[in-house]
Amino acid sequence: MAYEILVDDTLNHQKITLRNTKTKFEAEVFAFGAILNAYRFPFENTIINIVAAFSSPEQAKDDLKPFFKSAKLSPFACRLNNGKFHFHGKEFQVEKNYLGKHAMHGLLYDAVFEIKESITDQESASIILTHHYDGSDNGYPWEFDLEVAYKLSEGNMLTVKTSVSHTNAFAIPYMDGWHPYFSLDTSIDECYLQIDTSEMVEFDETLIPTGKMMSYEKFRSKAYMDGVFLDNCFVLDQSKAQPKAILSSEKLKLTILPEASYPYFQIYTPDDRRSIALECLSGAPDCFNNKIGLRMIEPNETASFVTHYIAEVIN
């Protein structure tokens, strides 16, 4: 069989590897946080991992903050203004995780997931991880079930699908996001970026959206990243049949293909310039307040959010 799944139970939290035994492409996932810790493949007589990785699930647990590498962001992503929002005529104050005065990156970035299902065949390997949020944060008291499915398939495509459902008596507000950091074979100053966008969300000085959009076309065609610092949210061009973002060096290329469920794309460039956060978002930051991309998930509905990654060696 061309694909296999390996589960390491010897660590504090499970480590799962999806592998194409022919091409040697691999995806490594931690049960802790449903973290994507590796997207590996052969490159120049070695194996390269283009995800900025942790050494183990335990290190991920200890060192996840302040950068939240590869964290699953749910039920909101990025910043929530003062950690507050109004819903059904009541004000809610999120209790977990603040950076300055704003709540950050949701509630489940450090949740431990369980393996629900794993499937291998001649065309793919996939695993579904699940977690039940119990409503324990008073700022978001509505229970829901979260599933994260990773699938490695032909063409060395890695698909990540998040599914959310609940049985509350009414629709609940929701925003989904990812926080993966990618690192090619060189500094991001020597990389190129292209995004199908001509519009950027305007932020205030604390990185909260003002409600306005700004024209931004630097990366609509392939542009050099040298000296470019970003912590910005872009609106993907939905007139395209498949909007994409491409990070490339002279030798490697990563193509990100968010489906329509992820119409926003956040980019953050750390000061060390060794990696870049390329984040698929279902809504703009602070959408619980500004409503930009906010999803209202109905009882017994399953809302799904899907993106695809393709890594290639440039010949």
| DSSP output for 147-208 | EEEEEEEGGGEEEEEEEEE---SS-EEE--EEE-EE--SS-GGG-EEEESEEEEEEE-TTS-
| CATH value at residue 115 | 2.70.98.10
Q: Check pLDDT > 90 for residue 67.
A: no
Indicate the burial class of 170 (C-beta count within 10 angstroms; 0-12, 13-18, 19 or more): exposed
Q: Check pLDDT > 70 for residue 290.
A: yes
Mean pLDDT, all residues of the chain: 95
Give the containing element (helix H, strand E) for 61.
helix 57-63
Q: State the residue range of the domain holding 56.
A: 3-313
- When divided into structural domains, the chain yields a total of 1
pTM: 0.95
**Predicted confidence (pLDDT) per residue in 37-66, tens digit:** 999 999 999 999 999 999 999 999 999 888
pLDDT of residue 127: 98
pLDDT of residue 250: 96
Q: Check pLDDT > 80 for residue 1.
A: no
- 126 backbone dihedrals φ, ψ, rounded to 5°: -140, 150
**Predicted confidence (pLDDT) per residue in 228-269, tens digit:** 999 999 999 988 889 999 999 999 999 999 999 999 999 999
* % pLDDT > 70, the chain: 100
